[in-house]
Amino acid sequence: MGQFQHPNIIRLEGVVTATCPAMILTEFMENGALDGFLRVNDGQFTPLQLVGVLRGVAAGMQYLAAMSFVHRDLAARNILVNGNLVCKVSDFGLSRFLTENSSDPTYTSSLGGKIPIRWTAPEAIAYRKFTSASDGWSYGIVMWEVMSYGERPYWDMSNQDVINAIEQDFRLPPPPACPSPLHALMLDCWQKERADRPRFSDVVAALDRLIRNPASLKVTAPEGRR
């Protein structure tokens, strides 16, 4: 964490090793985790403000990808919000440095540890292959969490039902009052073939275009809450 220097990545202040357990000290994020913050403030933000939140997360992930790091656990619960509503990617417990000299570096997990099924790309679930593209899939789920104000992805479906549904090409529908360009971007992130998913630089560029054109975020026919 000490090598990361970006406004949308949590900053490491220091470590405490003189006591047990060892601890890390990070910058203070007044509003806590993004998922809980959204639930407390359900419906309180404009679509443009939510796109600003998503843009910050995407910018942080673009930086990590450029540093050849794969996060592997990107979710709203692992994004922290400060007093100025700036979102920062945190919780690097599962992150890995990609050392392959390849245009598509891959981290393959050989351990049998648990993975967050609802946020994880199908190739990572099936083959334990993690890349920036699998982080991109997770980012699409984060987009859905943000636009639904912290609703649980796939609702009360079991993990196995989620796996089966995705394999049969089911994708999450747009949350209530979600602008269609944002749901279209989510669907791009959930392409089955990882090579077809947008890179984080593409996501940042797409969100910047929406921010410059707020009229594109108007919702003409909001759907009822599920």
Catalytic residue list: 73
DSSP the chain: -TT---TTBPPEEEEE-SSSS-EEEE---TT-BHHHHHHHTTT-S-HHHHHHHHHHHHHHHHHHHHTTEE-S---GGGEEE-TT--EEE---TT-EE----SSS--EE--S-----GGGS-HHHHHH-EE-HHHHHHHHHHHHHHHHTTSPPTTTT--HHHHHHHHHTT--PPPPTT--HHHHHHHHHHT-SSGGGSPPHHHHHHHHHHHHH-GGGG--SSPPPP-
Q: Which two tokens stand for residue 163?
A: 């796996």
